[in-house]
């Protein structure tokens, strides 16, 4: 199942009719050479609205899903901004720097034209991606376009996404759900089902001839040491096929799917296992399955998968690092304070490829305490993928609709430290600069839930631009100590 968009880029040059059109065309060709393969060069240079319609028709016929609008000179502000209105996909606007010709007949004034372009986009309320400094040479603009690709991929994904839920959310987990108004504002569709619907679909897959092949794939992924319950694999394979088939049969008019599923307390007893390992496998293929019907967690994971083109996970911002562990394993080895660190945890939904080599399918200790007889061998609480999360750069982030229906987000870059946790579940020691202040003045102050999405790498730049493009105005981050938060007491 192809669940992440493929971006085909088109490049349209624009030219104001009182400037030489050849200036825009030659500069456009230079960008194509600097970028290399993968950038379609539209032959129509836009000077007026008729040109605009022709250019949009051309890039659509070429299969372009995202556009770069290039001001090779001052540019015609009305036609160039109407490109973003008529093209069904994300658009980036950039402008040419001077220096490739004389400053009489070879001066383009695109630096000035970009101001009018931005002003016009604002008047028309047209979203557009404008780089931090959008004026550059061909080589510099080629670099800007490469930065645009993950943003375009995420925007295309969100606009064509359906989140499928199986709920309702567990009792006392109000934080994992939120008004769906924000989904519609983003262009996301949602299909809400009951846990009983999922159980009926699961039972209908009993004896599915594909189960054996999925079991073999699971066994190969886990290896001998990680496959603690081989007799459990057929049940989990049956569930995996149930979700994949549901996605194909229910995505309807949408191209991409993410799930937000209820996973306790009734699930393990009725299905006969915990769903965590299956959820991890789908996440590794770009199909996030969030825990505890966390709709915005699923959305956040999906954005992270689009931006990173890699597996993602969803974790609790879970527990503090013991001072004894910090002093023994972190202090003096890493440039972090104790309050910069915390443990990110979930029952076992992190993909195997992001965990240490000794990860294995185990049982959910907390659910075993709650649901099975004291002192008994684990039965239906088996099915988690547990172990320490492998050391890596990470980006911890979330896109959320709050209780007032306002979309907001946070992004914080850091790392998973190479420190053994000595605990259970899928868990790691995380370090984020100034996490303590971020925890108090963003996560607590703005009432974010305990779940955060994790991308394995530093993707803050692309996520920030993606959220801006999607219209999110409140994008928080872990501020350095030199930059206080508005709610921070200056006398502390």
| Residue 19 to residue 98: CA distance in whole angstroms | 14
CB contact at 8 A, 67 and 43: no
Interval 454-483 mean pLDDT: 97
- % of the chain residues with pLDDT over 90: 93
Residues in a beta bridge with 317: 344
pLDDT at residue 169 is higher than 80: no
pLDDT (tens digit per residue) in 71-121? 999 999 999 999 999 999 999 999 999 999 899 989 999 999 999 999 999
| Residue 422 to residue 481: CA distance in whole angstroms | 31
**Mean pLDDT of all residues in the chain?**
96
CB contact at 8 A, 37 and 7: no
Residue the block writes with tokens 């093209």: 87
Q: What is the pLDDT of residue 444?
A: 96
pLDDT (tens digit per residue) in 375-399? 999 999 999 999 999 999 999 999 9
The closest of 129, 139, 122, 56 to 94, measured between CA atoms, is: 129
Q: What is the pLDDT of residue 137?
A: 97
Neighbours of 210 (CB within 10 A): 14
Q: What is the pLDDT of residue 176?
A: 67
Strands of the sheet containing 189-194, edge to edge, are 189-194, 161-167, 256-261, 289-290
Q: What is the pLDDT of residue 492?
A: 83
pLDDT at residue 179 is higher than 90: no
Interval 62-70 mean pLDDT: 98
Confidence of residue 171 (pLDDT cuts 50, 70, 90): confident
Interval 123-137 mean pLDDT: 97
Q: What is the pLDDT of residue 342?
A: 98
pLDDT at residue 212 is higher than 80: yes
Q: What is the pLDDT of residue 178?
A: 74
Q: What is the pLDDT of residue 285?
A: 96
Interval 161-178 mean pLDDT: 80
Least confidently predicted of 177-181, 309-313, 412-416: 177-181
Tokens for 465, please give them: 């631009």
Q: What is the pLDDT of residue 400?
A: 95
- 8-state DSSP, 207: T
pLDDT (tens digit per residue) in 342-375? 999 999 999 999 999 999 999 999 999 989 999 9
Interval 39-66 mean pLDDT: 98
Confidence of residue 177 (pLDDT cuts 50, 70, 90): low
* Domains of the chain, each with CATH number or no CATH: 9-158 (3.40.50.10940), 160-477 (no CATH)
| Cα 366 from chain centre | 29
Residues in a beta bridge with 162: 189, 257
pLDDT at residue 175 is higher than 80: no
- 8-state DSSP, 275: S
| Cα 306 from chain centre | 5
Interval 60-67 mean pLDDT: 98
| Residue 447 to residue 445: CA distance in whole angstroms | 6
Q: Tell me the DSSP string of 236-254.
A: HHHHHHHHHHHHHHH-TT-
Interval 180-203 mean pLDDT: 96
pLDDT (tens digit per residue) in 417-440? 999 999 999 999 999 999 999 999
Interval 118-132 mean pLDDT: 96
| Residue 352 to residue 42: CA distance in whole angstroms | 43
Q: What is the pLDDT of residue 1?
A: 78
Which pTM value belongs to this model? Answer: 0.96
pLDDT at residue 26 is higher than 90: yes
pLDDT (tens digit per residue) in 288-316? 999 999 999 999 999 999 999 999 999 99
């Amino acid at each position: 199942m192809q669940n992440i968009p493929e971006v085909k880029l088109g490049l349209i040059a624009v030219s104001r009719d009182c400037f030489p059109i050849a200036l825009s065309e030659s500069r456009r060709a230079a960008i194509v050479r600097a970028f290399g393969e993968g950038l379609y060069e539209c032959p129509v240079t836009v000077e007026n609205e008729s040109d605009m319609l022709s250019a949009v028709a051309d890039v659509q016929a070429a299969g372009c899903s995202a556009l770069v609008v290039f001001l090779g000179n001052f540019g015609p502000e009305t036609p160039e901004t109407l490109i973003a209105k008529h093209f069904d996909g994300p658009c980036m606007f950039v402008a040419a720097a001077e220096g490739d010709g004389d400053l009489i007949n070879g001066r383009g004034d695109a630096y000035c034209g970009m101001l009018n372009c931005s002003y016009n986009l604002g008047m028309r309320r047209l979203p557009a991606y404008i780089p931090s400094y959008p004026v550059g040479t061909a080589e510099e603009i080629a670099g800007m376009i490469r930065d645009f690709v993950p943003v375009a991929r995420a925007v295309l994904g969100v606009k064509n996404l359906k989140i499928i839920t199986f709920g309702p959310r567990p009792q006392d987990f109000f934080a994992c759900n939120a008004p769906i108004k924000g989904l519609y504002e983003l262009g996301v569709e949602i299909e809400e089902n009951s846990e009983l619907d999922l159980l009926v679909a699961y039972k209908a897959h009993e004896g599915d001839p594909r189960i054996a092949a999925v079991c073999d794939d699971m066994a190969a992924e886990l290896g001998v040491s990680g496959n603690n319950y081989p007799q459990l694999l057929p049940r989990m394979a049956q569930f995996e096929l149930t979700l994949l088939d549901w996605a194909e049969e229910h995505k309807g008019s949408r191209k991409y799917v993410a799930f937000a599923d209820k996973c306790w307390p009734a699930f393990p007893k009725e299905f006969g296992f915990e769903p965590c390992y299956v959820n991890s496998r789908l996440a590794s293929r770009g199909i996030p399955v969030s825990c505890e019907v966390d709709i915005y967690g699923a959305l956040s994971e999906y954005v992270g998968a689009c931006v990173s083109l890699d597996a993602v996970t969803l974790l609790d911002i879970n527990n503090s690092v013991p001072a004894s562990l910090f002093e023994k394993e972190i202090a003096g080895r890493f440039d972090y304070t104790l309050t910069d660190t915390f443990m990110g945890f979930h029952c076992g939904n992190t993909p195997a490829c992001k965990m240490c080599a000794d990860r294995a399918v185990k049982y959910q200790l907390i659910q075993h305490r709650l649901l099975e007889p004291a002192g008994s061998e684990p039965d239906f609480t088996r099915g988690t993928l547990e172990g320490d999360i492998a050391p890596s750069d990470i980006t911890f982030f979330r896109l959320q609709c709050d209780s007032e229906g306002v979309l907001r987000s946070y992004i914080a870059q850091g790392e998973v430290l190479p420190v053994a946790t000595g605990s259970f579940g899928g868990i790691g020691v995380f370090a984020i600069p100034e996490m303590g202040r971020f925890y108090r003045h963003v996560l607590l102050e703005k009432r974010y839930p305990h779940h955060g999405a994790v991308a394995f790498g530093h993707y803050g730049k692309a996520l920030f631009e993606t959220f801006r493009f999607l219209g999110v105005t409140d994008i928080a981050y872990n501020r350095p100590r030199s930059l206080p938060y508005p709610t921070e007491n200056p006398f502390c």
